[in-house]
Structure 1
Amino acid sequence: MKLKQIRNATLRIDIGGVKFLLDPYLGDTEVYSGFEGTLNDHLRNPRIPLQTSMEEILDVDAVIVTHTHDDHWDEAAIANVPKDLPVFAQHAADAELLASQGFEDVRVLTENSEFNGVSLIRTPGQHGSDEALAAIPEILGEVCGVVFKHPDEARTLYVAGDTVWNRHVEDNLARHTPDVIVLNAGDAQVPGLGSIIMGTTDVTKVYETMPEATLVASHLDAVNHCALSRNALREYVQAHDMTDRVLVPADDEAYSF
């Protein structure tokens, strides 16, 4: 299994001989306005440039979109991802949107999805606290994660997606016992409503809950509302003696498991 950090939550995942692109966010630096009503919304996105070539990013067999927020599926992704590539969406509503954008092979993730021998298991998450979701449900919306398994791979991968630590994540960990766990850990903030993805406390909770797993931190440095930087997370991980199992990759950095 190989995992490459592209930018923000965008990942290239190679497993069982199949290449997946997850949550492509492909726009040029500062081409989009900041997310209105969020932390530092005066800043433009993406905050940092792509470090991986578009040719390599798009050299995949399928695309997975955990949800259609603009920093996971942007105008550049819609324009650049080949329309005949299989694209997996979290539910029927997102699938309908992707089909309306011209994609010809849109599939809905389930707990029993499969692609070229790779099991793709849709997992629930929650894009913020119960209070945040109650306050702005139409903005936060539904999200998902994905568990990847293949009979020739010794390890199971769990990409948690845009979620905070909650009962869903706890249940997913207990059910699937993943060996490698990707956490969107930039601590994105909505003033007055708190974190809408994981931060240091959530990462620590996963680290303590899964003592045999390797954690990979994603969704850092690229969008205006992320309060936790890569450097700050690396310092936290080192200060709390978590460097044995927590990886904080730079963009274009890859790991093999």
Structure 2
Amino acid sequence: MLVKALASSLVLATGLIAGNAFADSNAQVSTHQVQQIRNATVKVTYGDTTFLVDPMLAEQGAYPGFEDTYRSELRNPLVGLPMPFEEMIDDVDAVIVTHTHLDHWDDAAQELLPKAIPLFAQNAADAELIRSQGFSDVRILDGEAEFGGVKMHKTGGQHGSDTLYAVPELAEALGDVMGVVFEAPDQKTTYLVGDTIWRDEVEQALAQYNPEVIVLNAGAAEMTAFEGDPIIMGKEDTLRMHQAAPNAAIIAVHMGAVNHMTLSREELSDYVQEVGIQDHVSIPADGEVMSF
């Protein structure tokens, strides 16, 4: 039966973004940062406001691999967190949960995060679930919202192909997902794409918001019965994203931490060099901070 909740030490940054989009490490600390934590978990900082996105906070090996997916015999997460929880959460002002699959919102996050922290969910169903887990300030990102001087826009997507969504049990398991565009005065517009394949909704977000920074879930996760039909983007989509937004800095995440990712950081690093876009794509190590 399909699981309903589908849910490094290796440094593989592939170079700085052209036009100094990625600040020199010796430069003054920027007020716009994206930090890769692990998996799809990132921190996005604009000025004085920091968002923790899609927290998966369990210790290495805490959960069984996702049933009926690639390498399901492996236990998740595949690696530990790069820092203590207390250090990671210290400056966080709000949490964003793009969807409630285990690898984006896990039991450890539900236990460790302060129950009164402001938390944004994609819809009423996810908000109700998270409230039932004890969180008291759960807000629905319906269209757009503002928090701490940062404007957020909800964007669409689909967590797999139409072929997968034609299977009722799979459609239920994959569910709804969202992306988020962040905007603030004097900051680069940032598009966190979320768990989606390439869709019209992605193209619409690119056209509407013209993001300068794109956080791309690029691990090409797969179901075993649908080999070659990934449920999130992969290496070819990374190239396609660059072609669609050639001036944007692309940050590729959601690799190396859960069993069903078929694309590794090493493979993506080789690919972006092969196709000549290494100056536009960063593949951050867990814990790495990128400043703009």
Of 16, 38, 46 in structure 2, the residue corresponding to residue 15 of structure 1 is: 46
Of 262, 267, 270 in structure 2, the residue corresponding to residue 235 of structure 1 is: 270
Residue in structure 2 matched with residue 172 of structure 1 by the alignment: 205
The one-letter code sitting in structure 2 at the alignment partner of 1:104 is: S
Contact 1:16 1:152 in 2 (8 A): no
Residue in structure 2 matched with residue 144 of structure 1 by the alignment: 178
What is the deviation of 1:141? 0.3
- Cα-to-partner distance string for 1:173-206 (whole Å, 9 max, x where unaligned): 1111100001000110012332001101111111
- Cα-to-partner distance string for 1:122-181 (whole Å, 9 max, x where unaligned): 10011011111222111100000000000131x100000001111111111111110000
Residue in structure 2 matched with residue 196 of structure 1 by the alignment: 231
Q: Does 1:3 align with 2:34?
A: yes
- Cα-to-partner distance string for 1:58-84 (whole Å, 9 max, x where unaligned): 120000000000000000000000001
Moved segments of 4+, more than 3 Å: none
- Point out where structure 2 has 5 or more consecutive residues left out of the alignment: 1-31
What is the deviation of 1:44? 0.6
Of 224, 240, 248 in structure 2, the residue corresponding to residue 213 of structure 1 is: 248
What is the deviation of 1:95? 0.3
Instruction: Tell me, in whole angstroms, the C-alpha distance in 1 between the residues paired with 2:239 and 2:225.
Output: 23
Q: Does 1:158 align with 2:191?
A: yes
Residue in structure 1 matched with residue 217 of structure 2 by the alignment: 184
Q: TM-score, normalised by structure 2?
A: 0.86
The one-letter code sitting in structure 2 at the alignment partner of 1:107 is: R
* 2:237 alignment partner, SS class: helix
Q: TM-score, normalised by structure 1?
A: 0.98
Instruction: Tell me, in whole angstroms, the C-alpha distance in 2 between the residues paired with 1:251 and 1:109.
Output: 27
What is the deviation of 1:244? 1.0
What is the deviation of 1:56? 2.2
* 2:152 alignment partner, SS class: strand
User: Identity percentage over the alignment?
Assistant: 51
Instruction: Tell me, in whole angstroms, the C-alpha distance in 2 between the residues paired with 1:218 and 1:64.
Output: 16
* 2:129 alignment partner, SS class: helix
The one-letter code sitting in structure 1 at the alignment partner of 2:182 is: F
Q: Which moved more, 1:81-90 or 1:47-56?
A: 47-56
Q: Which moved more, 1:64-73 or 1:109-118?
A: 109-118
Contact 2:68 2:225 in 1 (8 A): no
Instruction: Tell me, in whole angstroms, the C-alpha distance in 1 between the residues paired with 2:199 and 2:212.
Output: 19
The structure richer in strand per residue is: 1
Higher RCO structure, 1 or 2 (CA under 8 Å, sep 6+): 2
Instruction: Tell me, in whole angstroms, the C-alpha distance in 2 between the residues paired with 1:107 and 1:201.
Output: 35
Q: How many residues align?
A: 256
Instruction: Tell me, in whole angstroms, the C-alpha distance in 2 between the residues paired with 1:206 and 1:132.
Output: 23
Residue in structure 1 matched with residue 110 of structure 2 by the alignment: 78
- Point out where structure 1 has 5 or more consecutive residues left out of the alignment: none
